[in-house]
Structure 1
Amino acid sequence: MRGLSRGLVITLLLTLIAAMGGTWIGARYIYVQRHQPSLHEFVHDELRLSADQRAQIEVLERDFAVRRRAREAELRAANADLARAIQARHEYSPQVQAAVDRFHGAMGELQKETILHVLAMRAVLTPEQARQFDTRIGKALTEPAS
């Protein structure tokens, strides 16, 4: 009986160690497979920008950050309007439709601002950097979200 319980304990410990090891290896593998650098990281860390390019892109990023914050404030305001309109009548009223339209308009403007920003950054790049950038943008726009 004693040999049976000792064998069971050893089996359980080995099973636990194997499970923990497998979980750790699997998590690392998935992280590496799924982690793609952001566009910001890609541009700054992988394109080997010159000092002049870095300075130009930093100006573009500062300007875009201001415009993006303004568009995001519009989105939050439109969401607040939508919440009030839904709470007022609990139906798809003209006020709800107006809030949805306002939100969609703000979202569209944010998307346009983002595209203009991406194209402005591309204009700063060398032809080889632009090729790499285009590949990265193409993947970002066509790969399914994870």
Structure 2
Amino acid sequence: MKGLSRGLILTLVLTLIAAVGGTWIGARYIYAQQHQPSLHEFVHEELKLNTDQKTRLAALEQDFAVRRRAREAELRAANAELARAIQARHEYSPEVQAAVERFHDAMGELQKETILHVLAMRAILTPEQARQFDARISESLTEQAS
């Protein structure tokens, strides 16, 4: 009986270890397959920028961060305005419509700022880096449309 219990316990422990190990390995494999580096990671880690490019890119990123925060503040303000307008009348009133339009305008401006930033980053790249960058941008913009 002791031999059977010991064998059963050993089997259960090994099964548990195998299950946990298999789950961990599977999760890491799936994550690796699905995780595509962000554009920021791609530019910094895969394009092998020289020192001058890194300096110029840092300045671009710092400038964009300021502009992005301002646009995001506009989005938050537009959302707050929308919330107030909906709470005031609980209908699609002219105030709600104006708040929605303000939000869309702010979102459009953020998108324009982002596109201008992406184009400014491209301008500091070598022709070969720009080719890789263009392919990555194209892939990013079309992968969700599929």
Same fold (TM over 0.5): yes
Cα distance between partner residues in 2 of 1:61 and 1:36: 21
Task: Report the CA distance between 1:124 and its aligned residue.
Answer: 0.9
Matches for 1:1-146 after TM superposition, within 5 Å: 5-144=5-144
Greater CA drift, 43-52 or 72-81: 43-52
Cα distance between partner residues in 1 of 2:11 and 2:97: 63
% same residue: 81
Moved over 6 A (4+): none
Amino acid at match of 1:114: T
Structure 1's unaligned 5+ residue stretches are none
Task: Report the CA distance between 1:31 and its aligned residue.
Answer: 1.8
Structure 2's unaligned 5+ residue stretches are none
* CA RMSD in angstroms, aligned pairs only: 1.8
Greater CA drift, 61-70 or 11-20: 11-20
* TM-score of the superposed pair, with normalisation by structure 1: 0.90
Amino acid at match of 1:66: V
Count of paired positions: 145
Cα distance between partner residues in 2 of 1:120 and 1:35: 26
